[in-house]
Amino acid sequence: MAKTLSTLLIALATACPAVAAVTQADLDEAARAIEPRMIEWRRDFHQHPELSNREFRTSKVIAEHLEALGLEVHTGIAHTGVAAVLRGGRPGPTIALRADIDALPVTERSDLPFKSTVTTEYRGQQVGVMHACGHDAHTAILMAAAEVLTARREDLPGTILFVFQPAEEGAPEGETGGASLMLQEGLFDLAKPEAMFGLHVFYSLETGQVGYRPGPFMAGSDFFRVVVHGQQTHGASPWAGIDPVVVSAQIIEALQTIVSRQLDITEVPAVVTVGAIQGGTRYNIIPDSVELLGTIRTFRPEIREDVLERVKRTVENTAAAAGARAELFLGTTPNPALINSEELTRRMVPVLEAVAPAGAVPIGLQTTAEDFAYYAREVPSLLFWVGVTPPGTEGAAPNHSPLFFVDEAGLITGLRAMLAVAVDYLERGPQGP
């Protein structure tokens, strides 16, 4: 039977009586004490969401908190990212803990007293802004973790790099951002971790549960844009022009056959989705052009290249068959697939089980994406999920929905889990017990 974190740390303290090891009981007490403030932070961020690369207020709040703790704080990484270094009182390994801080162009439809009413311009349109993926919770959890761990600085071995990352949802078109840019701008020069941890709240797990998967976990993602060029004409005489609206519909339908009829998905899944269509200004005018926006999700580089080629061929040939012309544009920074370290994940499963009230559960491959994958390519890493849906809830709204709901009782599970994996790794090093 796996030892609990408390048992492991108490055993360590007994073997080395001169060392004041941080115990799980101590961490739990600290988590309970800071929980009300953590929830306040989360609600504040939820009420004041900011889009990718525009997280100016968010990063200011984070930086002020970390500076008040007396940490070595670095701002302006990848535009609005914040990092802080905590150096423990004893020699030991270096780890990194990460939270993402950006929101989405989604208009919130909840009735929460702290719901977002923020609006802004996005791709030329006025949109609502909402923390529809739970990054407000991630940020609040890591702020709380930073305070709890800093208060125990002298008793901790090693070094912790706290990473508050912008633009996880993707930088705006024409810009760079996110995890890849933080690394390019020298994040790991501040403190190169031997292991890195992150969490993500998710609707499909119940409050109190933690989900994990060793190895391949979340899909790689590509953003694509298609511009269909036709010939504008009166809506009453479509034969006098080339209708890019109809051609766009044909392209969308044809794209759906790539996965359903052309790929062998018996081993790993793939997804091609068109999520936005823009074209035309009036009901009786056939426009000159239509724009399509979409995403591609894959798990292997060779499958990605194959799908990209099929998408390009489908787009161009479908348009040509109708006498139109179509161009395919790909995003500049595609996410690689997220691959958790198998060894690190398996080692941390007993630690997660010890702090998750409803248990640590294995989960399957996920076609959602996470740019935490960039860190995982550099150092052994573990991203785990935290449940935020009350038990017994039917039809919970998924992440990215305007009705996405975070049960705040799940935040303390996330905090306890983040504290537990951090302290376990710091105390026992990369080899474990």
Residues 42, 139: Cα–Cα separation, whole Å: 7
CATH of domain 5-214+341-428: 3.40.630.10
The pLDDT score that the predictor gives to residue 432 is: 67
The H or E element that residue 137 is part of is helix 135-150
Residue 416: other Cβ atoms inside 10 A:
28
CATH of domain 220-330: 3.30.70.360
Residues 9, 22: Cα–Cα separation, whole Å: 7
- Sole residue written with tokens 């929460």: 112
Residue type for position 44: D
State the sign of the Cα–Cα–Cα–Cα dihedral 120, 64, 80, 193. negative
Separation in Å, CA 298 to CA 83, 223, 367: 30, 12, 8
* 220 within 8 A of 371, measured Cβ to Cβ: no
Residues 65, 40: Cα–Cα separation, whole Å: 13
pLDDT digits (tens), the chain, 433 positions: 344 544 544 444 444 434 458 999 999 999 999 999 999 999 999 999 999 999 999 999 999 999 999 999 999 999 999 999 999 999 999 999 999 999 999 999 999 999 999 999 999 999 999 999 999 999 999 999 999 999 999 999 999 999 999 999 999 988 999 999 999 999 999 999 999 999 999 999 999 999 999 999 999 999 999 999 999 999 999 999 999 999 999 999 999 999 999 999 998 999 999 999 999 999 999 999 999 999 999 999 999 999 999 999 999 999 999 999 999 999 988 999 999 999 999 999 999 999 999 999 999 999 999 999 999 999 999 999 999 999 999 999 999 999 999 999 999 999 999 999 999 999 998 876 6
Separation in Å, CA 57 to CA 49, 185, 324: 9, 21, 46
The H or E element that residue 388 is part of is strand 381-389
Tokens of 46: 């939820």
The pLDDT score that the predictor gives to residue 267 is: 86
The pLDDT score that the predictor gives to residue 52 is: 98
The pLDDT score that the predictor gives to residue 430 is: 80
Residues 84, 90: Cα–Cα separation, whole Å: 18
Domain ranges of the chain: 5-214+341-428, 220-330
- Sole residue written with tokens 């209708």: 243
The pLDDT score that the predictor gives to residue 2 is: 40
pLDDT digits (tens, 9 = 90+) for 95-130: 999 999 999 999 999 999 999 999 999 999 999 999
The pLDDT score that the predictor gives to residue 333 is: 84
